[in-house]
């Protein structure tokens, strides 16, 4: 094994030192930090998703749509709960066609059902409206930050 690389690996600066002045380090010195930062970013992303889902669940239970993030009375962010968009279930076009309907009424080919078009047909009611409602499902709720 290359001794220079071993020395580089054992004499690593701290992350704070690297972030303060990254231009003073060699690529070999920076590479391990890039990997560590990438791993930490993945971990933080997953932690963020967990916390978001807990907040969304609790806001849904409370019927809340806005949440202010405050520290010592200062508003850091305002989160707005937005409902997930409507997406067609798998094979919606086939199910719609099997029911004797034209899939082009609620989508276009290469078939992708459109909630915008479908929601207009639902307004007419009847069996077709029930069928259309069964072909769509709501995606996950999201939080938007201002």
Tens digits of residue pLDDT in 25-79: 988 888 888 888 989 999 999 999 999 999 999 999 999 999 999 999 899 999 9
pLDDT band of residue 3 (cuts 50, 70, 90) is very low
> Does 38 reside within a domain?
yes
Alpha helix segments (H runs only) across the chain: 3-10, 15-20, 27-62, 92-98, 115-122, 126-134
Q: Is residue 119 part of a domain?
A: yes
Q: Are residues 16 and 57 in the same domain?
A: yes
Residue 81: per-residue pLDDT: 94
The verdict on 56 and 9 lying in the same domain is yes
Give a yes or no: residue 126 inside a domain.
yes
Query: Looking at the domain assignment, is residue 18 inside a domain?
Result: yes
Count of CB atoms situated within 10 Å of the CB of 128: 18
* Domain assignment present for 36: yes
pLDDT band at 105 (very low <50, low <70, confident <90, very high): confident
Domain encompassing residue 37? 3-62
Number of domains in the chain: 2
CA-only gyration radius of the chain, Å = 26
User: What DSSP character marks residue 140?
Assistant: -
Average pLDDT, the chain: 86
């Amino acid at each position: 094994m290359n001794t220079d690389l071993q020395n580089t690996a054992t004499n690593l600066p701290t992350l704070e030192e690297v972030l303060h002045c990254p231009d003073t380090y060699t690529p070999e010195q920076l590479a391990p930090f890039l990997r560590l930062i990438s791993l930490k970013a993945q971990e933080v992303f997953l932690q963020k998703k967990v916390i978001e889902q807990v907040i969304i669940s609790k806001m849904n239970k409370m019927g809340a749509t806005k949440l202010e993030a405050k520290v010592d009375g200062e508003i850091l962010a305002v989160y707005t709960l937005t409902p997930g968009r409507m997406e067609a279930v798998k094979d919606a076009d086939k199910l719609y066609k099997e029911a004797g309907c034209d899939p082009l009424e609620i989508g276009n080919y290469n078939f992708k059902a459109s909630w915008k078009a479908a929601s207009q047909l639902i307004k007419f009611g009847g069996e077709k409206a029930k069928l259309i409602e069964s072909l769509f499902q709501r995606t996950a709720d999201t939080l938007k930050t201002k």
